[in-house]
Amino acid sequence: MSPNTDDNYAVARHPIYRIDGDVFGYELLYRTVGGPNAASFPSDAEATLSVLANGIHAISQDIDPKKKIFINFSKEILESGHHKFLDPGRFVIEILEHVTCDAAFVELVRGIQEAGFVLALDDYVGDPSFDPILPYVTYIKVDFLALAGDSAKLGAVVDRCLALGKTVLAEKVETEADVAWCRDRGVPLAQGYFYSRPKIVTAKILEPNQAVKLNLLAEVSQPELDVRRVREIIGSDVSLTYKLLRYVNTASFYRGQPIESVDFAVTRLGRNALSSWVAVNMLATIGDSARDRELAFASAVRGRFLALADGRRLPGRATCHDGQSICLTGLLSLLDAMLGMPMVQALAGISIDERTRVALLGGESSCTPCLALAGCYDAGGESARAALRAYGLAPDDASAAYFEALAWAADMFRP
């Protein structure tokens, strides 16, 4: 598939099939935009971080939420705890075949499994050095290609895995004979070129402002996480807000209640998962980027301006949201321009309050006046005066809120 010229991120999804042909799930694999359909990356850790931070976002609209998603994890990433924000009911953590199973790693794997996460062992060929972690692994991916020249060993490896009660996933299956062998041997899952090659999915990924990233990294590095401060920083950057909403919307702890604010999304994620999610997204995008800086800054100003203005409306004027929720309306108001796509497409992966959605899509709702105000206030003129009247905000109060929002956003974006 040819990437859109605006796309700046690529990930490959490789289907995993039940032997009868139904898709069981997908493995996500690191790729580069415009590059070959093969991994090329500096390190396992960087590849894992990239897939966690952006790969899930890139495929979230296209994969059935009931399908399992397998992601390769380096030892370093597991030790850092960056898996903790994942939904254990949907994601499978793949342990790479070249890790050293020393006592510390075995204890780490045991703790991850006891915390409710599902583990798979990648590219297994029967190496006894992995025996200490086998009790904690649910899936064993047996490397058919590596064992192709030794059918006796292949049979012995598969039989042992099945005898241990493990779900065997035959990988690198390339012929119909391989599939028939699996079916006869009782292997339930398979993956390989016989079924399909990995499909590259591309997407435009918004990069957080560099100063915001560094501020957020500083916060999550503290011994005690200041959730209020983290919420404020995320709420200043449209890219982080967008990623957070997309993730919370696809996770199992989300139960369909409309997301009205960053505060609501952070509450749903929880303290420990929040710290993990933040660290993954920051470490994966720590490189300098000026992409969409002006739009990001304008989005932050709009969100903060509406939150401040909401508390200064004339007596008797009903609010459409509280300050935190109305901030989201302003923050998302330029999302179509930032992503280079129609707003209806940009909002497709987010479950937000219906009044906000209708207004962002150009319809009439109780949020329309506040969105109109955010869109024209900085330009001034009659349109701004009309928006102020419709919103119920005195010009002096609007001016004070706007300049306070500018100062706040400048402080957030200051290197």
**Residue 383 buriedness (CB in 10 A; 0-12 / 13-18 / 19+):** middle
Do 219 and 194 lie in a common domain?
Answer: no
User: Has residue 353 been placed in a domain?
Assistant: yes
Q: Report the CATH number at residue 87.
A: 3.20.20.450
Do 194 and 246 lie in a common domain?
Answer: no
User: Has residue 243 been placed in a domain?
Assistant: yes
Helices 262-269 and 323-331 meet at what angle, rounded to 10?
Answer: 100
User: Has residue 105 been placed in a domain?
Assistant: yes
Do 181 and 40 lie in a common domain?
Answer: yes
User: Has residue 3 been placed in a domain?
Assistant: no
pLDDT at 324 over 70: no
Q: Number of structural domains, the chain?
A: 2
- Comparing 394 with 324, the larger pLDDT belongs to 394
Do 242 and 195 lie in a common domain?
Answer: no
Do 331 and 198 lie in a common domain?
Answer: no
Mean pLDDT of the chain: 78
Do 78 and 222 lie in a common domain?
Answer: no
pLDDT at 345 over 70: yes
Strands 9-18 and 189-191: antiparallel
pLDDT confidence of residue 287? 42
> How many angstroms separate the first and last alpha carbons of the chain?
38
Instruction: Give the pTM.
Output: 0.61
Q: Report the CATH number at residue 262.
A: 1.10.3210.10
Do 297 and 381 lie in a common domain?
Answer: yes
**pLDDT tens-digit map of 13-59:** 889 999 877 899 999 887 766 555 455 555 677 777 777 766 666 66
Do 187 and 238 lie in a common domain?
Answer: no
**pLDDT tens-digit map of 116-129:** 999 999 999 999 99
pLDDT confidence of residue 299? 80
- Given 184, 203, 222, the domain boundary residue is 203
Do 111 and 238 lie in a common domain?
Answer: no
What's the domain range around 35?
9-203
Q: What is the band of 169 on the pLDDT scale with cuts at 50, 70, 90?
A: very high
Do 280 and 174 lie in a common domain?
Answer: no
User: Has residue 400 been placed in a domain?
Assistant: yes
Q: Calculate what percentage of the chain has a pLDDT beyond 70.
A: 73
Distance CA 155, CA 187 (A): 11
Do 73 and 187 lie in a common domain?
Answer: yes
User: Has residue 2 been placed in a domain?
Assistant: no
- Given 181, 203, 225, the domain boundary residue is 203
Do 174 and 263 lie in a common domain?
Answer: no
pLDDT confidence of residue 265? 77
User: How many CA atoms does the CB half-sphere of 138 hold within 13 Å?
Assistant: 16
